[in-house]
Structure 1
Amino acid sequence: MNGKWLNYGGLVLVAVIWGANFGISRLAMESFHPIVFSVLRFGLAVPFFFLLLWRKEGSVGIPWRLVPRLALIGLVGITLLEITVMYSIKFTTLANASLLNVAPWPIFAALFAPLFLRESITVRLVVGGAVSMVGVCFVILGGQEGFNLSPENMLGNAMALGVSIIGALFNLSTMSLMKQYSALRVSTWTIAFGSLFMLPLTAGGAWGQTDWAGLGAGQYASIAYNVLICTVVAFLVWNASMFKVGATRSNFFRYAVPAAAVAAGYFMFDETITLLQLCGAACMAAGLVWISVERKQAQPQLQA
């Protein structure tokens, strides 16, 4: 039981870390080109991953037969995912991007799970997930922007929905690998390949758009947070917890990300929190608790 709650606690902690990063990254984007910032985030994290892997497991290598698979996962799950996230925010409203990035992700994870894993969907998981989804919709739609279906937002909306599809496939593909290799080894190599594929995208003057001499302590702190906390710690904790809890159930805990982002906006930018958002956060929390206390042996199963 203690191990179970430790894993659920890890998922919530990572969701809070990623949610808070919305505010931190918003500040950083005032000084950095978005793709340069992503390269710094993942590229600077790579040496830490390899060092941790070597210290913990005594080696860093992977079989040559896995290189194409891990390279593809890194290309899709790190490079393509991060770029799609950035441009979805650029071409639609933050509320639209947040809702379409987060809400459908667990649904796609459940739909695609049979292609990668043998996971079951229980009645409790369906009910808890639905309640959590309603809650996250209230959190996002309760903000000032609301949901906007105007034609100029359609490209960004489609890209934001694509994030949910790509992200679900990324999670499931790494889960299948973690049955043979540690979460640390899988995370290390997918992020290494993803960073490598991201680097050429900064060609053409992206690095020159940053005033490096004018960077202050706040900008360097945002890089440190993204590298050490948001990438190294968060990826390791999420992947290890997801392997124990299961990909389908774990992805519902992403619904805590928008709530944490709203809280970050309140503390960092003096943004208001509405009653609907508070009700949504309570609804989302109730759904996640309902999922967490499931006793699998006692629950009827609906095969995915």
Structure 2
Amino acid sequence: MKPFDVGLAVAVAVIWGLAFVASRLALDELSPALMTAMRFAIAALPCLFVRRPNVPWRVLIAISATLFLGQFLAQSWAIAHGVPVGLASVIVQSQALFTVAFAVLAFREIPTRMQIAGIGVAAIGLLMICGTVGFDFSVGAFAVLMISPVSFAIGNLLLRQAREVPMFDLFAWLCLVPPLPLLALAFAVDGPRATWSALVHMSLTGWVSMLFVGAISTSIAYWLWGRLLRDYTAAQVVPFALLVPFVGSAASTVVFGETFGPLRLSGMVIVVAGIAVMLLSKRPQDVPEKALPKIA
């Protein structure tokens, strides 16, 4: 890769890591449904200027419902209910494990021995993290968070049905799907008055956080990532996503004073190591290479 593009890949990973912190700041003022709705409403603004890609609506809706709505609503709900930001940034990256597993079930694509080894290592890390659940956040919050990587993995596989279309246009229109159902959910759960009041009384920190998450992390960063995947092989680009949990954890430590006990920290490191084994191994199959990494 050219040095400039290496810099872009690192910048995208840093943006996605910082987006976990920005999401947490926004969730101090907005409910998970409303925050996620605003995220995609902002990210969908380019739809005013780009044409809908040549993808059927049913495919767009299916991809967006899993890759975006399901993934980020679960993530936001879990963070709002006490799951530490740094831990969430690691758990979401486990989507790589589920992508490979679901590809076996759906497409009979058999993983290589190195991929299987990576899955085993990451699974051990997840079990170690599970051993820390219940102390500073509930089992229910952790269970909801696990919906995020599972939904993300399903979206990765559905994304195969939208190949050979402009990346920026595709993701702009994918962002158009979640806002209305999420806003309806916010009205149903929080009530119209509370929802409107939260929007009217948002602080400058809240607005800046939402603009960062919606415009920079979701819209711009995905476009840059798509450009890199267009110009280089996924094997060259995707490993940069391993920087995301480290950036998210470090930023959370600085901003929120988040700390990790020995068991949880070891589990987080082992999860990332297992994913690294999967992504960096030579593979004849396409599934992990086609799997997009986590944004926040």
* Cα displacement (A) at 1:109: 0.5
Q: Does 2:212 correspond to 1:221?
A: no
- In the alignment, is the contact (CA less than 8 A) between 2:85 and 2:248 conserved in 1? no
Counterpart of 1:57 in structure 2 is none
State the percentage of identical aligned residues: 21
Would the alpha carbon gap of residues 174 and 96 (structure 1) be closer, same or farther in structure 2, given more than 3 Å must change? same
| Alignment TM-score, normalising by the size of structure 1 | 0.70
Aligned 8 A contact 2:71 2:151 in 1: yes
Q: Deviations over 1:269-291 (max 9, x none)?
A: 34457788888888778777766
Report the secondary structure of 1:84's partner residue: helix
- Count of residues paired in the alignment: 280
Q: Structure 2, unaligned stretches of length 5 or more? A: 288-296
Once the two structures are superposed, residues 182-237 of structure 1 have per-residue CA deviations (whole angstroms, 9 ceiling, x without a partner) of 22232122111122332322322242341635622x22221221122111122223
Distance 1:128 1:32 in 2: 37
Q: What's the counterpart of residue 191 of structure 1? A: 175
Matches within 5 A, 1:270-285: 270-272=257-259
| CA separation of 1:111 and 1:285: change in aligned 2, threshold 3 A | closer
Preserved contact between residue 39 and residue 195 of structure 1 (Cα < 8 Å): yes
Letter in 2 for 1:94: P
Provide Cα deviations, 1:32-75, integer angstroms capped at 9, x if missing partner. Answer: 23322222211012113553xx3xxxxx0345x70112122222
- The whole-number CA distance in structure 2 between the counterparts of 1:29 and 1:17 is 18
Q: Cα 1:281–1:62, aligned 2, differ >3 Å: closer, same or farther?
A: closer
- Give the conservation status (yes or no) of the 8 Å contact 1:77–1:166: yes
Which runs of 5 or more residues in structure 1 are unaligned? 55-59
Aligned match of 2:78:
88
> Aligned with 1:165: secondary structure?
helix
For the residue of structure 2 that corresponds to 1:32, the secondary structure is coil
Per the alignment, residue 208 of structure 1 pairs with 196
Read off the aligned partner of 1:38 and give its amino acid letter.
T
Greater Cα radius of gyration, structure 1 or 2: 1
**1:6 to 1:279, Cα distance in 2 relative to 1, 3 A:** farther
* CA-to-aligned-CA distance 1:130-155 (integer Å, 9 cap, x gap): 66x389769x95xxx972257x9333
RMSD: 4.4
Q: Deviations over 1:231-277 (max 9, x none)?
A: 11222234455575459x94x76553332221112322344577888
Q: Does residue 35 of structure 2 align to residue 37 of structure 1?
A: yes
Aligned partner (choices 150, 157, 160) of residue 142 of structure 2: 157
Q: Counterparts of 2:8 and 2:114 in 1: how far apart (Å)?
A: 19
Structure 2: distance between partners of 1:123 and 1:276: 27
- Cα distance change on mapping 1:227 and 1:201 into 2, 3 Å: same
Specify whether residues 103 and 188 from structure 1 end up closer, same or farther in structure 2 by C-alpha distance, changes over 3 A only: closer
Q: Is contact 2:14–2:247 with CA below 8 Å preserved after alignment? A: yes
- Paired residues for 1:123-202 under 5 Å: 123-127=113-117, 133=122, 147-149=132-134, 153-178=138-163, 180-202=164-186
**Could you tell me which residue of structure 2 aligns to residue 16 of structure 1?**
14
The whole-number CA distance in structure 1 between the counterparts of 2:86 and 2:233 is: 29
Q: How far, CA to CA, are the matches of 1:195 and 1:242 in structure 2?
A: 27
Q: Secondary structure at the match of 1:210?
A: helix
CA–CA distance in structure 2, aligned partners of residues 90 and 214 of structure 1 = 17
Q: How many Å apart are 1:292 and its aligned residue?
A: 6.6
- SS class of match (2:56): helix
Rounded Cα–Cα distance in structure 1 between residues aligned with 2:225 and 2:102: 19
Match of 1:112 among 102, 106, 110: 102
Structure 1 counterpart of 2:138, which letter?
N
User: Letter of the aligned partner of 1:80 in structure 2?
Assistant: G
Change (3 A) 1:155 1:31: closer
| Change in CA separation of 1:112 and 1:219 when aligned onto 2, cut-off 3 Å | same
